Chain A
Amino acid sequence: DAKTTQPNSMESNEEEPVHLPCNHSTISGTDYIHWYRQLPSQGPEYVIHGLTSNVNNRMASLAIAEDRKSSTLILHRATLRDAAVYYCILVSGGDSNYQLIWGAGTKLIIKP
């Protein structure tokens, strides 16, 4: 079965870039890589997702390795509001076999 592995926690200084890694060495060709983040006592919030090519949006960038066995979520300039647990998730399937493989999450600590 596919699996996603993330570091338990990371620290970064405010206003510096943050690179959050995720390993998914057993990813299949049709699995999408999603990232969500969760603040305390709240539901997860969408950050970014992609399949093969790197992706950019207003929140972050997603760098996907050429072999797709790993990916990195990049926050270009972290703020205190970015402190959260970041989940890397493999999403696959359609109507009948839809599946999400959640990583354990990385707790991002931002130091002022």
Chain B
Amino acid sequence: GAVVSQHPSWVICKSGTSVKIECRSLDFQATTMFWYRQFPKQSLMLMATSNEGSKATYEQGVEKDKFLINHASLTLSTLTVTSAHPEDSSFYICSARKGGPRAREKLFFGSGTQLSVL
């Protein structure tokens, strides 16, 4: 089956620093990737939709200047949390689908990145 690799699995950083999270589709080309955020004991919340070669579409309430998304190739999307603060501490998850999004097709998720900002 299709594999989505997410790196790093966890990261601890100081307040004010930036953190980059990578999401790679290992055996397929993903024209669309999705970035989620999850707080403890809650469901996933969609942050943004990333399309290869174009600007990401952010959900309402998500600061695009704080959460920078780059989808430079068909197999790689990155999320950079800029000037991270303790309230940005969360579990971040990416997902991808082969080709464009279709409701009948299943999604593949990365293993997640636990970000802790001190």
Contacts and interface: CB of A to CB of B under 8 A. Distances in A.
Interface stretch (B63-71, B72-80, B81-89, B108-116): B108-116
B43 interface: yes
Given A44-B109, A103-B43, A104-B43, A93 B104 contact: no
A44 B93 CA distance: 9
A88 to B, nearest CB: 10
Interface centre among B94, B95, B101, B112 (most CB of A within 10 A): B101
Interface string B1-24: 000101000000000000000000
A100 B97 CA distance: 13
Query: Chain B interface residue count: which class?
Result: 20 to 34
B95 A92 contact: no
Nearest to A49: B106
12 contacts: A41-B114, A43-B6, A43-B110, A45-B109, A46-B106, A49-B104, A51-B104, A95-B101, A98-B32, A98-B103, A104-B42, A105-B43
Given A43-B94, A98-B32, A104-B42, 10 more contacts: A32-B104, A36-B107, A43-B4, A43-B111, A44-B93, A44-B95, A46-B106, A46-B108, A49-B106, A87-B43
